[in-house]
Amino acid sequence: MPQRSCVGCRQVRDKRQLIRLVRLGNGEVEVDVTGKKSGRGAYLCPRPNCWQEGLKKDRLGRALHTSLTKEKRQRLLEYGQSLADEKITGAAS
């Protein structure tokens, strides 16, 4: 299994355990749920703390060789938080 590092916590994990973010050719940054989009990629653990660290210290922007706007940074933080919400909701079901 291919290994990748989380830009938030810097732990090496199996690629399938991480969430890929990709910088597209037009400069947009998106969550790549398929892991197959073309563009420069970076990985984060599916934990809100990793998303906060990766965005707070601009590790994600450096890894993707781009600068993130406040709006984009906020949307990505919300996405990271939604991962925790899904786990909580899923555990309660």
Task: Round to whole Å and give the CA distance between 57 and 31.
Answer: 19
When the pLDDT of each residue in the chain is averaged and rounded to a whole number, the result is 89
Please indicate whether residue 91 or residue 20 has the higher confidence score (pLDDT): 20
Q: 23-42 pLDDT, tens per residue?
A: 999 989 999 988 889 999 99
Structure tokens, 59: 């590790």
pLDDT of residue 84: 73
Residues 6+ apart with CB under 8 A from 32: 20, 21, 22, 41
CATH code (residue 53): 3.30.1230.10
pLDDT of residue 89: 45
Residue 66 clears pLDDT 50, i.e. is over it: yes
Question: How many separate domains does the chain show?
Answer: 1
Q: Which residue range(s) make up the domain with 16?
A: 3-92
Confidence of residue 92 (pLDDT cuts 50, 70, 90): very low
| pTM, 2 dp | 0.87
pLDDT (mean) for 62-74: 94
